[in-house]
Amino acid sequence: MTIHSSILSLIGRTPLVRLNTVTHGIEATVLVKLESMNPGGSVKDRIGIAMIEAAERDGVLKPGDLIIEPTSGNTGIGLALAARLKGYRCLFVMTDKASQERVRYLKALGADVLIVSSAAKMSSPEYYWNTAKRLAEELPGAVMLNQYDNGANPAIHTETTGPEIWEDTDGTVTHFIAGIGTGGTISGTARYLKSMNPDIQVIAADPLGSCIKTYKETGVLVDASPYLVEGVGQERIPANLDLSLVDDILNVTDLEAFTMARHLAREEGIFCGGSSGMNVAAALKVARTLPKEAVVVAIVCDTGERYLTKHHSDEWLKEKDLLEEAAQLSVRDAVAAKHQRGSLPALVSLPPQATVQEALALMSSYELSGVPVVESDHVLGVVRENKLMASVIANRDTLSTSVSELMAEPPSIIDGHEPIETAIAKLRTEPLVVVADFGRPTGILTRHDVLEYL
């Protein structure tokens, strides 16, 4: 029998997986370490238990104590998992930038959560870190483990993450790529990898807007500007970040990070957060310049399930003006938008036996100039208002003729998964196209619909 003594023994020993599709045109091997497969879904499970056990060893934590931590969410989950099993209570201070999924997750694990404004400056008492620090000083039995300067954070990566990468690549790893939140992952892992082979290049991915790249290159601490990727990038240099172990820092934009996260889901089946997309985007930039012997390892920090209402949602991306490029707009999206916009059913169609009179009434009630004729999910043709009108004017009896006798050749049928460009190309010469999902007609798109959508 193989039985784990508790959920905590499932932390670590995460798999290394080769990227096969997003690496198109790259000769080097690009691998991702799936920290998303930890029981709490992120790399932070490693430091949750490590910081608690270190505090127990140091006599800082006593049974029944309250763990207070400022966290963007994942550390909270890692801490909450371990804290409950070890008999501690938790209070997490988070900014309103953290996703709802994370807040709810923490509450589900039995923790308390305090949300503060993400707009508060570092100098303000309202800043999330300052709030947590103050509460840890004021509340009885409260302990702030502080992942930013707690040595147990990088140490667990030196003890576990680094050796796992070294062993799983048989020592062939040449480049290691990670983001910087506290700096624990990159510094701790780099320390081990460089101790095994000082030639291993350690490259940090940093959101455009974070101050770390400029600081490393010039020694100047500039004001950070806002970005949307969560959990990484800084407005100060955390104590746990050892920049002497970082060979280079690449800036990655929100758009690049989110686009890559979506590609990883769709093309590689790897469902991850924006910081993982950022790491892989940087890894691919690096790998593009490398020979085929190179082995690049990037960290997938957490699961995409935490971002279903963020970058894995088209609506959210649209709201942030990141959709157009981040997601390939599909024909199906355009039909869905049309459906949402108005009272018009997505697919207005006629059976072949409908009369011209019924067809004209239908077109006039929905203000349509053409309608497809459909029978048992087969598009037989299309009737156009001007042609029907002309026939009726020429001969009034046509009103009772069935549309099948007056219909024109069927319009183009486009699969809903096709990019919107396919519909645009067809609509250059045709007034309308029928959209089908898995062979079943589900909607119509006209030039007007596409224009309105775009």
Q: How far is the CB of 240 from ligand PLP (least distance, A)?
A: 7
Among 98, 232, 261, 359, binds ligand PLP (CB under 6 A): 232
Q: H or E element: which one contains 287?
A: helix 274-287
Rounded (10°) angle between helices 74-86 and 45-57: 50
Q: H or E element: which one contains 66?
A: strand 66-70
Q: Could you confirm whether 44 is annotated as catalytic?
A: yes
Q: Which is nearer to ligand PLP, 286 or 374 (CB)?
A: 286
Among 12, 41, 162, 231, binds ligand PLP (CB under 6 A): 231
Beta bridge partners of 350: 373
User: Token pair 């077109």 is at which residue?
Assistant: 363
Nearest Cα to 260, choosing from 284, 244, 295, 227? 284
Nearest Cα to 274, choosing from 257, 297, 259, 262? 257
Window contacting ligand PLP (CB under 6 A); options: 72-80, 169-177, 341-349, 427-435: 72-80
Q: Which is nearer to ligand PLP, 230 or 449 (CB)?
A: 230
Q: Is 190 exposed, middle or buried (0-12, 13-18, 19+ CB in 10 A)?
A: buried
Q: Is 131 in the site for ligand PLP (CB under 6 A)?
A: no
- Residue 427 CA, chain-centre distance (Å), reads 33
Question: Dihedral of CA 289/291/292/297: which sign?
Answer: negative
Q: Is 74 in the site for ligand PLP (CB under 6 A)?
A: yes
Q: Can you spell out the DSSP letters for 93-120?
A: EEETTS-HHHHHHHHHTT-EEEEE-TT-
Q: Is 79 in the site for ligand PLP (CB under 6 A)?
A: no
The first and second tokens of residue 91, run together, are 């209070």
Nearest residue relative to ligand PLP (C-beta): 231
Residue at 260: amino acid letter: M
Q: Is 150 in the site for ligand PLP (CB under 6 A)?
A: no
Q: How far is the CB of 61 from ligand PLP (least distance, A)?
A: 21
Window contacting ligand PLP (CB under 6 A); options: 59-67, 131-139, 180-188, 440-448: 180-188
Q: Is 179 in the site for ligand PLP (CB under 6 A)?
A: yes
Query: How many residues touch ligand PLP (CB under 6 A)?
Result: 19
Q: How far is the CB of 291 from ligand PLP (least distance, A)?
A: 29
Q: Which is nearer to ligand PLP, 274 or 441 (CB)?
A: 274
The first and second tokens of residue 329, run together, are 């707009």
Nearest Cα to 371, choosing from 450, 426, 429, 433? 433
Contact 101, 307 (CB under 8 A): yes
Q: Which is nearer to ligand PLP, 231 or 411 (CB)?
A: 231
Q: Which is nearer to ligand PLP, 13 or 341 (CB)?
A: 13
Q: Is 185 in the site for ligand PLP (CB under 6 A)?
A: yes
Contact 32, 47 (CB under 8 A): no
Residue at 341: amino acid letter: R
Q: Are strands 432-437 and 440-446 parallel, antiparallel or unpaired?
A: antiparallel
Among 48, 78, 162, 181, binds ligand PLP (CB under 6 A): 181
Q: How far is the CB of 78 from ligand PLP (least distance, A)?
A: 10
Among 65, 69, 230, 449, binds ligand PLP (CB under 6 A): 230
Q: How far is the CB of 214 from ligand PLP (least distance, A)?
A: 18
Nearest Cα to 100, choosing from 400, 359, 313? 313
Q: How far is the CB of 448 from ligand PLP (least distance, A)?
A: 42
Cα–Cα distance for residue pair 290/336, rounded to 1 Å = 43
Among 156, 200, 296, 301, binds ligand PLP (CB under 6 A): 301
How many CB atoms are closer than 10 A to CB 434? 20
For the chain, the residue count is 454
Q: H or E element: which one contains 116?
A: strand 112-116
Window contacting ligand PLP (CB under 6 A); options: 183-191, 332-340, 356-364, 410-418: 183-191
Window contacting ligand PLP (CB under 6 A); options: 86-94, 160-168, 175-183, 444-452: 175-183
Q: Is 162 in the site for ligand PLP (CB under 6 A)?
A: no
2-61 residues near ligand PLP, rule: CB under 6 A: 43
Q: Is 182 in the site for ligand PLP (CB under 6 A)?
A: yes
Binding site for ligand PLP (CB under 6 A): 43, 72, 74-75, 179-186, 230-232, 273, 275, 301-302
- As annotated, the active-site residues are 44
